Amino acid sequence: RAAAPEEKFLMSCPSELADTCLNISILAVMLSPNDTTSLIGTIRAAAPGVNFTSRLFARPRPLLDPSSAVLWAIALCTVIVASFVSSAKERRQQKARQGGDRTMDSVSDIPVQDVGMLHAVGFIFAASCALVLLFFFIRSVIFFMIIIYCIASVSAFTGITMGPLQGLSPSLAAEASLPLLGKVERSALLALSAGIAIATTWFVNRHELWAWALQDVLSVSLCIHILSLMRFPDAKVSATLLCLALVYDIFWVFISPLLFSENVMIGVATGQGHQYNSSSPLPPPSDMIPMLLVVPKVWDWAGGVTLLGLGDVVLPGLMVSYALRMDYLRRGTCLGGYFILLCFGYGVGLAMAIVASVLMRMGQPALLYLVPCTLLPFFSLAWCRGELHDVWYGPGGKAAGHGAETDDGEAEYGREEEGASGLEAAAAAPAEEIHQRLLDKGQ
């Protein structure tokens, strides 16, 4: 393991091998990597003409580890669950229409933010600026980031668990009066208390081996909550954002070492930051950025963890949730449409990223594999079905001849009434418009 130059390793001898250890005739020492470099420099300085080499012997490390499969399953399940949560309104509306009840068409859920083109470009620019700042100052602000992460995760956990709690026990929907807070739903109190307990336990014990499970609970809650509050309005914005994010990942992983002499993305993700003085390496950071899914390695004798950034879940997840909404609006079901195909593509892309990181022995930008494996199947299926124009402009698209917007803001695709006359089409128009049309026909 890496150690500070002043750190010393204590060597011991098993009691059953005491005689062998005491009579050993070969000098054996244990040096840290930094001490090894220092020793080689000292020897070369003392004997300039001597060719000195060193060789490191280490136990072989396994190529695959169960932690990769667990991480893959957590990420895929998070995307699937978050997609169903974000499309709850469309699903309820479709069930209401099938039952002949139009009262559910105007259901208003939690306000949702549509990600526009300006948001997409601005997000990548802001993320790049933030990454550079964190690269230089990550050690100074890491504790503050952990606090923000805990607060955001508690809020997300509360938001996504209130509904299920009320479903399990309708009595939790009742309100309770509290000092200073007034009337608060019991489900909110229960969810908030559980979220605070989980976040506090993780914060206090975040360096313990078992704390990864609590961190994953908080990170999954954060991903689901973000995907329930944000969505792509059309495939045009989704393709733009994912392609920009792909370029962002490639630049900061593969090209940044040419500009900064260090890998900016890895430096921020591990909490190491910028190495200001290469002659005196900084000690390993005590914390990494918490916005990660983490699973400890099981078979690797050197330990370590398998990591996945939350951006690799949220950004492709926005595309998957958009596909599910399109399926509900166009076909009324999640089967046989875009959603199943994109879930499969996300799983394949993430598996490819994991395999690539194992074979290359280095971290990989997951979006390099996730973006093609989600966008290409989506647009290929849309093209084969002749729906490319509709999905490109989305449910609220205003393109001429493609989809008219209904009262509740949804597009009615492919519902043109055959044989409708001009007067029948004008039946719902204002009286002035009908009169004008009749005058035009008379002329």
The per-residue pLDDT for 415 is 38
Instruction: Say which residue the tokens 């700042």 belong to.
Output: 133
Digit-coded pLDDT (tens) for 110-133: 678 888 889 899 999 999 999 999
260/252 Cα distance (integer angstroms): 10
| pLDDT band at residue 21 under the 50/70/90 scheme | low
| Residue among 380, 401, 375 at smallest CA distance from 390 | 401
Residue that the structure tokens 């070969």 belong to:
26
- State if pTM tops 0.85: no
* Radius of gyration from C-alpha coordinates of the chain: 29
- Catalytic residue numbers, as ranges: 249, 312
Give the count of beta carbons closer than 10 Å to the beta carbon of residue 264: 23
Single out the residue of 381, 76, 79, 120 nearest to residue 232, CA to CA. 120
Number of Cβ within a 10 Å radius of residue 87 = 24
Tens of pLDDT, residue by residue over 264-287, are 888 888 777 776 544 455 666 678
